[in-house]
């Protein structure tokens, strides 16, 4: 599965500014809801917070992968957001989080869901990738970086 096939370019946020965990999730959900008629921002926020309550998706090294299943959605969608300053996301290593990759999937999508999560996690294990995303000057830059990584693996 390619991440570029599910990334919603118009929902990417390049500069989140300094805010809390809930604001990040809310802003990403709202951005996605704006371009995806099947997604309702409040409902998505609820799902994401539920998942974070179980355990933070902040996997360390400045990366978080919030995700959840949403009824009524008919395909997988993803978006990306970045915070230059870093946000306290209760991540595993206690460090501020800069990169947020959001994944939303239909209710019954076990295998595809896990595969997409695995792939995104794998991208972020590459420190060059993280650095390039951090350095991206424009939306195009950021998307191109993801596209390149997607083509590589």
Partner 1 sequence: MKIVIVGGGLVGTTLAERLTRDQHDITLVDDDVERARKLSETLDVHVIGGNGAVVGVLRRAGAETADLVIAMSNSDEANMIVGMLSLQLFDVPRIVVRLQDPGMKECFDFMAKDRTERCVYVNPDQAAADRIAQLLEVPGAMDVVSFMDGQLLVAGFRIGESSDLAGLRVEDMNLVLFAKNPTKAVAIHRMDDWIIPHGNDQIEVDDLVYFAIDREHLEGMLALVDVHHDDRRDLMIAGAGAIGQELVRRLGTGERREVLIEENEAIAKQAAETLPGAIVLHGRVTDQALLEEEDIQNVSTFVAVTPDHETNLVAGFLAKRLGAGRVVALVDNPDLVPLVSQIGIDAIISPRVLVIGLTLEQIRGGRIRSVAQLLEDRIEIVDVEASPRTVLTSGTLSEIKLPSGVLVAALLRDEKLLLPGGSDRIEPGDRVLLITTTENAPKLDDFLAE
Tokens at 115, concatenated: 């595969």
Q: Out of 57, 79, 83, 145, which residue is the one contacting partner 1 (CB under 8 A)?
A: 57
In angstroms, give the least distance from the CB of 124 to partner 1.
Answer: 8
Q: Per CB under 8 A, does 121 bind partner 1?
A: yes
Q: Per CB under 8 A, does 114 bind partner 1?
A: yes
In angstroms, give the least distance from the CB of 137 to partner 1.
Answer: 27
Distance CA 73, CA 138 (A): 29
Annotated catalytic, 67?
yes
Residue number with CB closer to partner 1 (67 or 82) = 67
In angstroms, give the least distance from the CB of 1 to partner 1.
Answer: 8
Q: Per CB under 8 A, does 111 bind partner 1?
A: yes
Contacts with partner 1, residue ranges (CB under 8 A): 1, 51, 54-57, 59-60, 65, 67, 92, 110-115, 117-119, 121-122, 125-126, 153
Catalytic residue list: 67
């Amino acid at each position: 599965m390619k991440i570029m096939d599910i990334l919603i370019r118009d929902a990417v946020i390049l500069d989140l500014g300094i805010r809390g965990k809930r604001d990040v999730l809310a802003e990403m959900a709202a951005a996605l809801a704006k371009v995806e008629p099947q997604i309702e921002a409040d409902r998505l926020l609820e799902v994401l917070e539920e998942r974070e309550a179980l355990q933070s998706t902040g996997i360390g090294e400045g990366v978080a992968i919030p995700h959840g299943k949403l009824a009524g959605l008919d395909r997988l969608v993803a978006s990306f957001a970045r915070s230059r300053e870093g946000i306290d996301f209760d991540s595993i290593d206690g460090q501020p989080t800069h990169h947020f990759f959001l994944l939303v999937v239909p209710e019954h999508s076990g295998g595809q869901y896990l595969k997409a999560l695995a792939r995104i996690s794998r991208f972020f294990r590459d420190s060059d990738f993280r650095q390039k995303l951090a350095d991206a000057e424009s939306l195009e830059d950021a998307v191109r970086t993801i596209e390149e990584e997607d083509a590589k693996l």
